[in-house]
Amino acid sequence: MYFKSDYHEETARELMKRFGFEKLEDDREYGTFCYVTTATYKYEDLKKVADSEGLDLDKLQQIMLVYSSTEISMIRFGLQLFNANIDDITIPDVMSGLDDENKRVVIEALKFRYRIR
């Protein structure tokens, strides 16, 4: 899987552990959420909304209020890949404004989540 940096990879795995899993592959819904959202480099905030009980969506919504529009779209897309009933962001909405690295993260997330080779 493509990671933007060592920090992205490390924090994706750390966030996954906060949910009670060892590897991203242990649960594709949580794994995809961790992979996409930590590409924003907001791990310090994300770890506040993740634990073995699950994801605190209310707290996440509050934390996101100060984020840039691209960071918000990436997190919303991560939430949608986690559970399609949480958000309804479209591919054009998430891809517009992203740089090439983050576009690649979105594509990799789709491939990972739905087991596309």
74, part of any domain: yes
What are 19-45's pLDDT values in tens digits?
999 999 999 999 999 999 999 999 999
With respect to residue 31, please indicate whether it lies within any of the assigned structural domains. yes
Separation CA 100–CA 79 (nearest Å): 21
Establish if 90 belongs to a structural domain.
yes
Tens of pLDDT, residues 51-77: 999 999 999 999 999 999 999 999 999
Is the residue at 35 inside a domain? yes
Q: Does the residue 98 lie in any domain?
A: yes
Does residue 1 fall inside a structural domain? Answer: no
Q: Is residue 93 part of a domain?
A: yes
Q: Is the residue at 61 inside a domain?
A: yes
Q: Structural domain tally of the chain?
A: 1
Domain enclosing residue 74, as ranges:
6-113
